[in-house]
Structure 1
Amino acid sequence: MFKHWKQGLVGAVTAATLTLPLTAAGALSDDKIKIGVLSDMSGVYKSLEGPGAVIAAQMAIDDFGGSVMGNPIEIISADHQNKPDIGASTAREWIDAKEVDMITALDNSSVALSVQGLAKDKKIITMNTGAGSTALTEEQCSPYGIHYVYDTHALPVGTATAMVKNGGKKWFFITADYAFGHSLRDNTGAVVESLGGEVVGNVNAPLSTNDFSSYLLQAQSSGADVIGLANAGQDTVNAIKQANQFRIVQSGQKLAGMLVFITDVHSMGLDIAQGLQFTTAFVWNQNEETKAWSERFHELHGAMPTMVHAGVYSAVTNYLNAVKETGTDDTETVRAKLGEMTLNDMFVKGGKIAPNGSMLHDMYLVEVKKPSESKSEWDLLRVVSKIPADQAYISMADTKCSLVN
């Protein structure tokens, strides 16, 4: 919007005359930037994002210099408790009363969809780093919503493809019974079937399930080659630990963790998790740049970062870059600039934000190391292959987002 306004003036006034309106447009609306980190601070997703997201956001602000155009940058945070109504009411208060400019984290798809819908009406940017549902960039896409780290289309492209090609043709799903789990199950099932496999069954499990025994027994008796865990966080950890007790893998079936984080592997231990393959956007010790940042994060948090923590750092950094480059916190202007930028930092190389809000970047298929292969406490993963962005994410030709087609 600012760009068009500026172009319209160029032919009518001199460059000197433009100085005053440009300065006025560059002033922040309330003389500061405020970023909201809304995450699961106490529940099943606490370790994968939670308080670590606040640390990652603060690291981004500190590395940026603590201010933008001489104005302070602040963080506000809260626990959404995995409840969409609490997430939405918190976001509403932040926007209406506390002048939040951007909201990030949102590690629950139902919460994320609720907050993104509210932010759309309020014209506030959301940079979702934690939730997975493709509805965020498909049926419920928003001109101000950005889906940053991963989605439930990118995850099975690596994991399910590898497992089907290695003989895992028949799949049974244990699914977290809400938007994220259903989206992950459906997208994984579509990949399996496109490769000639079949889905032989599914059972839904409530979020924060402690006892997976009945679900695992159903999966065990289904005749499936692969038991797909369409869940995340502590639910995934509990399911894999209990599957080990039932000796499911030892009996010939394979487990597919469709969303696994390094904190999950650390919690399970290599004796249980070794050989598990999954798809991720970030490996902490992949290169010197990721290693240096991750070791700084570890000093502050006591654990190595998940892909979500790294994504929060990147999202906040690039939002601030867009504010600095445009000289304003105007939502339309900043969002347009984010769409023009090529994103390069320790988390992403050559990233682009597509018209539907999806941040397109490479993903990685990884495998959990054997205990004998690990050189340190957090040396847990090896990269099997890179999944190029154009394979990982829904193409703009196929998207259902109304902003595109």
Structure 2
Amino acid sequence: MSLLKLAASAAVACLFAASVHAQSTGPAISDKVVKIGVLNDQAGPSADVTGIGSLHAARLAVEDFGPTVRGAKIELVVGDHQNKADIGAGIARRWYETEQVDMITDIGNSAVSLAVQALAREQKKIIMHVGSATDRIYGADCSPTGFLWLYDTYAIARAVAKANIALGGDTWYILAADYAFGHSMEGQLKSVVQASGGKVLGSARHPLYGADFSSFVLQAQTSRAKIVALANAGPDTINVIKQGAEFGLTKGGQKLAATTFYITNVHGLGLETAQGLRVVTGFYWDRNDATRAFTERFKKLSGGRVPTQVHAGVYSAVLAYLRAIDAAGTDDGPKVSQQLKAAPVDDMFAEGAKVRSDGRLMNDLFLAEVKAPAESRGPWDYYKIEFRVPAAEIIRPLGEGGCAL
């Protein structure tokens, strides 16, 4: 081979190597900034559960990953959807189309989640739902770039039923709110209890946002069921717990089991009233050294409040997203989505969990019981973790949700 041909071959080889190097290490970020939007209820009834705490959690995730990804700066923005689907969709559209937001997380309202997911699908943008519970997110309304990171109605019902039955709670009375959520949760609880060898002794439906639950509490007491399940949410759950304490329901040996409940609710009720209540949670701050270390950092931002399961889920989602961008070498939505589904999620929230093709994170849930005042060692020491429920036993099977993916 002539010297000229050797030189030409060497030049081509060098150019090819440089091209490969640029593709593998150079920033392939669309506008040299990775922008993440935290969208949730900032001042309304869900603000303690999601709110500013989710922004704190996202900041800690960015801090742990580093200030840049693939040479691009990481920025956070926050929006208040006021629990209205049209407002949430409007913020998301502005973020996607004019403010170059690459990913939206949290949300915490099912109606808003479904509206924003439709928009994200259209824009081919990543959306990582954390505080929203509708199983349609990874079912009939699933998206190639949509993810559900914490819980859903299907998983909550199964975790509550399976864990309580495993602990001996084989007879049930269900108190449900008389609207779609309550009906759905009641039906799912009955199905799982019976399939798991338990027996439902009775059920009753109460008006939404009721004030007097005394007759319903008395019916539950009269049933002598070991577990009184609350297929309701918000102020209804709180009021039933208060009146159950007044009537001595739990002190009489029965267990209240809430389907939608958070550690901030225990803080508001106090241990004297909430003691003995069983709840399902995806995270508890005092579970191990890693959760305690995260909590200490979170408390410095939150004025001493511990993170809820939603806050911990937001941290995990943001960290997984940044890792996926780094591995994929781009912030392109579909490519990042493929990477999120390819690599395990391994952090203090979800150890070694996988993301399915429908976008559902296969994370375990925990059954916790609220401590009696004498058992608590200090502020926020509220839960005893009684049972860990594996994701495979409670999350809807891949082929049953109607997801086209």
SS of residue in 2 equivalent to 1:142: coil
Structure 2 equivalent of residue 369 of structure 1: 371
Distance 1:387 1:46, change over 3 A: same
Q: Which residue of 1 aligns with 2:332?
A: 330
Q: Partners in 1 of 2:95 and 2:235 — Cα distance?
A: 29
Return the offset for 1:269. 1.1
Q: Is the 8 A contact 2:27 2:72 kept in 1?
A: no
In structure 2, what is the Cα distance between the partners aligned to 1:170 and 1:382?
A: 22
Contact 2:32 2:72 in 1 (8 A): yes
Provide closer, same or farther for how the CA distance between residues 96 and 199 of structure 1 changes in structure 2, counting only shifts above 3 A.
Answer: farther
CA distances 1:271-295 after superposition (whole Å, capped 9, x unpaired): 1111111211111111111101111
Stretch of structure 1 that moved more, 329-338 or 376-385: 376-385
Equivalent residue for 2:32? 31
Out of 337, 347, 350, the position equivalent to 1:348 is 350
Cα gap change, 1:167 to 1:67, in 2 (>3 Å): closer
Instruction: Assess, with a 3 A threshold, how the Cα gap between structure 1 residues 21 and 182 changes in structure 2: closer, same or farther.
Output: farther
Q: Which amino acid aligns with 1:193?
A: Q
Percentage of matched positions with identical amino acids = 38
Q: TM-score, normalised by structure 1?
A: 0.87
Cα deviation 1:353-381 (Å, max 9, x = unaligned):
11111100222111111111111111111
Larger Rg computed on CA atoms: 2
- Structure 1: runs of 5+ lacking an equivalent: 1-12
Query: Would the aligned equivalents of 1:369 and 1:382 in 2 still touch at CA under 8 Å?
Result: yes
5+ residue gaps, structure 2, are: 1-12
Letter in structure 1 aligned against 2:139: E
Deviates more, 1:65-74 or 1:390-399: 390-399
1:60–1:314 Cα contact (<8 Å) kept? yes
CA displacement 1:47-76 (0-9 Å, x = unmatched) = 111110011111111222222122211111
- Shift of residue 395, structure 1, vs aligned partner: 2.2
Deviates more, 1:331-340 or 1:130-139: 130-139
Is the 1:176–1:230 contact (alpha carbons within 8 Å) kept by the matching residues of 2? no
Q: Secondary structure at the match of 1:329?
A: coil
Flag the 1:149–1:167 CA change in 2: closer, same or farther, 3 A.
closer
Equivalent of 1:217 in 215, 218, 240: 215
Shift of 1:249: 4.2
Q: Distance in 2 between matches of 1:386 and 1:273?
A: 21
Question: How far is 1:94 from its partner?
Answer: 1.3
Give the distance between the partners of 2:340 and 2:129, measured in 1 at CA. Answer: 14
- For residues 139 and 200 of structure 1, the distance between their equivalents in structure 2, rounded to whole angstroms, comes to 32
What is the match of residue 64 of structure 1?
65
**Partner SS for 2:352:** strand
Equivalence for 1:6: none
After alignment, is 284-293 or 242-251 more displaced?
Answer: 242-251
Instruction: Report the RMSD for the aligned CA atoms in angstroms.
Output: 2.6
Instruction: Quote how far apart the aligned CAs of 1:135 are.
Output: 1.4
Counterpart of 2:144 in 1: which secondary structure? coil
Alignment of 1:46-61 (within 5 A): 46-61=47-62
Q: CA shift at 1:322, angstroms?
A: 0.6
- What residue in structure 1 maps to residue 300 of structure 2? 299
Rounded to whole Å, the distance in 2 between the matches of 1:81 and 1:230 is: 24
The alignment status of 1:385 with 2:383, answered yes or no, reads: no
Asked if structure 2 preserves the Cα contact closer than 8 Å seen for 1:174 and 1:227, the reply is no
Q: Which residue of 2 aligns with 1:4?
A: none
Cα deviation, residue 310, structure 1: 0.5
Q: How big is the shift at 1:147?
A: 0.5
The letter of the residue matching 2:211 is F
Query: Who is 1:7 aligned against?
Result: none
Q: Hey, what's the Cα distance between the residues in 2 that align with 1:126 and 1:205?
A: 34
SS of 1:359 mapped into structure 2: coil
What is the CA–CA distance in structure 1 between the aligned matches of 2:284 and 2:127, rounded to whole Å? 24
Deviations 1:92-134 (A, max 9, x none): 1211121111111111112111211221122111111101121
How much has 1:178 moved relative to structure 2?
Answer: 5.4
| 1:193 to partner: Cα distance | 3.2
Aligned equivalents of 2:112, 2:320: Cα separation in 1: 23
Normalising by structure 2, report the TM-score: 0.87
Alpha-carbon offset, residue 246 of structure 1: 4.8
Instruction: Say how many residue pairs are matched.
Output: 387
